[in-house]
């Protein structure tokens, strides 16, 4: 499989500062762009458990969450964020009898309270558009399903880069589509399963379908042939990585085995669906509010409008 190098520019690293002040990476994030009334609103998206780890698991969550960007002129830059500035899914319930863990967190690069210029023109990244999201309609149109290849750009814990973020590209394939919730260490979770050869360090990474080559036909008259002929687009955002399954004891096998076990990577990762990402971004406390403010900015040539125009210009470069 050959994948464009641009894919590596689609991710950022999310983490915190250690006691020595050095950056400690907790996971991977990526940029999703929403548009309203002609203005662009970029969001950093990652897994909820990544920002939990970055902020510290104590109740206060006072530790700053750092987003590490590559700079266009070389080097890296850090965006400091507070835990309370991140949006989680409106139906997310962390623990308890009604636990419903939805492992998504989104941070708006445009601050709706201060409207401070995010100065993202210095950052070197590419964005995922709303049109790139893998919806049910997209799945049907492009015949996305079991066995299809996926690409996962993200963090490699053993080497994240000194002067720049250096993500790696992992590959795999869809092992299971959405059906019943899958078991996880945080309760049953809605998602996909993807089979991969390595999974360490990719929590929060985007999972993108890879359809570089599609046959024009399978069999004449086949129900799926017409759909595959239309499969021209290369990548769609299937979701983000929650984590991977491990086998720690014989009890972890559905069928008992005499094989020696002990923290075996099962090679299967759980993917939070892209629809959960969009629901997190589009809730009233996030993008719905931005839409109304964008409408007002469109009607008035004020400081907010000028700032949003600068954001638009930076994202189009």
Asked if 7 and 169 touch (Cβ cutoff 8 Å), the reply is yes
Backbone φ/ψ region at 303: left (φ over 0), alpha (ψ -120 to 50), beta? alpha
For residue 110, what are the domain limits? 9-316
Report the run of H or E that residue 68 belongs to, with start and end: strand 65-70
Which residues on adjacent β-strands are paired with residue 28? 13
Distance (Å, rounded) from C-alpha 99 to C-alpha 93? 5
Structure confidence at residue 314 (pLDDT): 67
Render 73-92 in DSSP notation, one character per residue.
TSSEEEEEE-GGGSEE-TT-
Structure confidence at residue 295 (pLDDT): 75
Write the CATH number for 34. 2.40.10.10
* Residue 267 counted as domain residue: yes
Tokens, residue 199: 């999974």
Structure confidence at residue 233 (pLDDT): 54
* Residue 240 counted as domain residue: yes
Asked if 147 and 194 touch (Cβ cutoff 8 Å), the reply is no
* Residue 2 counted as domain residue: no
* Residue 257 counted as domain residue: yes
* Residue 40 counted as domain residue: yes
* Residue 3 counted as domain residue: no
Report the number of distinct structural domains present in the chain: 1
* Residue 4 counted as domain residue: no
Structure confidence at residue 118 (pLDDT): 77
Report the 10 Å Cβ neighbour count for 247. 16
Which residues have a Cβ under 8 Å from the Cβ of 275 and sit 6 or more positions away? 133, 135
Asked if 196 and 170 touch (Cβ cutoff 8 Å), the reply is yes
Structure confidence at residue 275 (pLDDT): 96
* Residue 232 counted as domain residue: yes
**Which residue is it, tokens 């510290």?**
56
pLDDT in tens, the chain (317 residues): 666 777 889 999 999 999 999 999 999 999 999 887 777 889 999 999 999 999 997 777 789 999 999 999 899 999 999 999 999 999 998 877 778 999 999 999 987 777 677 788 899 998 999 999 999 998 988 889 999 999 999 999 888 998 999 999 999 999 999 999 988 888 889 999 999 877 667 899 999 998 754 444 445 555 555 554 444 457 899 999 998 776 554 454 443 334 444 454 668 899 999 999 999 998 876 677 677 777 776 666 666 677 777 776 666 65
pTM, two decimals, is 0.84
């Amino acid at each position: 499989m050959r994948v464009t190098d641009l894919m590596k520019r689609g991710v950022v690293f999310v983490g915190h500062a250690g006691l020595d002040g050095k950056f400690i990476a907790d996971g991977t994030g990526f940029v999703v762009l929403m548009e309203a009334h002609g203005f662009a609103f970029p969001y950093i998206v990652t897994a909820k458990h990544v920002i939990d780890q970055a902020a510290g698991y104590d109740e206060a969550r006072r530790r700053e969450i750092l987003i590490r960007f590559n700079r266009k002129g070389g080097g890296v830059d850090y965006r400091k964020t507070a835990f309370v500035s991140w949006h989680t899914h409106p139906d997310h319930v962390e623990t308890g009898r009604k636990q419903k863990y939805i492992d998504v967190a989104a941070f708006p690069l445009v601050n709706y309270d201060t409207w401070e210029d995010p100065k993202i023109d210095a950052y070197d990244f590419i964005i995922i558009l709303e049109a790139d999201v893998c919806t049910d309609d997209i799945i049907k149109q492009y015949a996305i399903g079991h066995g299809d290849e996926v690409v996962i750009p993200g963090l490699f814990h053993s080497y994240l880069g000194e002067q720049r973020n250096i993500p790696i590209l992992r590959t795999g394939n869809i092992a299971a589509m959405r059906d019943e919730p899958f078991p996880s260490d945080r309760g049953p979770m809605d998602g996909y399963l993807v089979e991969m050869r390595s999974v360490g360090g990719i929590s929060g990474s985007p999972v993108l379908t890879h359809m570089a080559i599609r046959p024009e036909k399978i069999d004449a008259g086949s129900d799926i042939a017409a759909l595959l002929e239309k499969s021209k687009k290369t990548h769609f955002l299937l979701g983000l990585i929650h984590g991977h399954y491990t086998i720690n004891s014989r009890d972890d096998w559905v069928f008992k085995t005499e094989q020696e076990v002990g923290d075996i990577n099962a090679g299967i990762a759980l993917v939070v669906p892209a629809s959960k990402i969009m629901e997190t971004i589009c809730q009233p406390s996030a993008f719905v509010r931005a839409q109304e403010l964008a409408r007002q900015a469109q009607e008035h040539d004020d400081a907010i409008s000028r700032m949003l125009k600068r954001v638009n210009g930076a994202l189009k470069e």
